[in-house]
């Protein structure tokens, strides 16, 4: 019995890449195009895919290096051994929501102010035939003020 050598993982990946490149080349084949021309096109596609993967790996390595550098510097800064340096930090969705947090904080603070004024001046509020008690406005003022301050603090970080 003859035992065939199993291809390694990298060899299998290369074979799949060649098959995919040949499939793409055949799908774009024009009438009158020879097999040799199709194979040359497949080789070009294969090289292009390999080059793209190489670029993506290099970008990933650079981002990982920057992330690790930032993580290394953070404990030094927190312990006071070193001044903070400008490290690369990708913009998160959170930083894009800061204006929305500030607007929400403003609205909550205005609601707290109005509830406080209602309590202080004794303005009546009717919902249908039910009059909302004044202590509820005081409680609502505290809750709205707390929420507003929380929004401002979250938008500042």
- The chain-wide mean pLDDT, for the chain, equals 82
Mean pLDDT, residues 104-121 taken together? 93
Is pLDDT at 150 greater than 80 in this prediction? yes
CA distance 38 to 29: 7
pLDDT digits (tens, 9 = 90+) for 61-77: 999 988 888 888 876 65
pLDDT digits (tens, 9 = 90+) for 76-87: 656 665 555 555
Is the pLDDT higher at 8 or at 112?
112
Q: What's residue 108's pLDDT?
A: 94
pLDDT digits (tens, 9 = 90+) for 121-133: 998 988 899 998 9
3-state SS string over the chain?
A: CCCCCCCCHHHHHHHHHHHHHHHHHHHCCCCCCCHHHHHHHHHHHHHHHHHHHHHHHHHHHHHHHHHHHHHHHHHHHHCCCCCCCCCCCCCCHHHHCHHHHHHHHHHHHHHHHHHHHHHHHCCCCEECCEECCHHHHHHHHHHHHHHHHHHHHHHHC
pLDDT digits (tens, 9 = 90+) for 1-15: 556 778 888 788 888
Q: What's residue 143's pLDDT?
A: 95
């Amino acid at each position: 019995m003859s035992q065939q050598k199993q291809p390694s993982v990298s060899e299998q990946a290369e074979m799949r890449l060649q098959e995919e490149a040949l499939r793409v080349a055949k799908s774009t084949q024009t009438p009158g195009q020879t097999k040799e021309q199709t194979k040359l096109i497949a080789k070009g596609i294969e090289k292009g895919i390999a080059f793209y993967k190489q670029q993506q790996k290099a970008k990933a390595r650079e981002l990982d290096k920057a992330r690790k550098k930032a993580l290394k510097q953070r404990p030094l800064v927190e312990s006071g051994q070193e001044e903070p340096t400008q490290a690369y930090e990708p913009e998160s969705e959170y930083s894009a929501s800061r204006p929305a947090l500030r607007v929400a904080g403003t609205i909550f603070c205005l609601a707290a102010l109005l509830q406080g004024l209602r309590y202080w001046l004794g303005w009546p509020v009717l919902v249908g035939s039910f009059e909302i008690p004044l202590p509820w406005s005081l409680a609502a003022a505290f809750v709205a003020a707390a929420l507003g301050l929380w929004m401002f603090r979250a938008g500042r970080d």
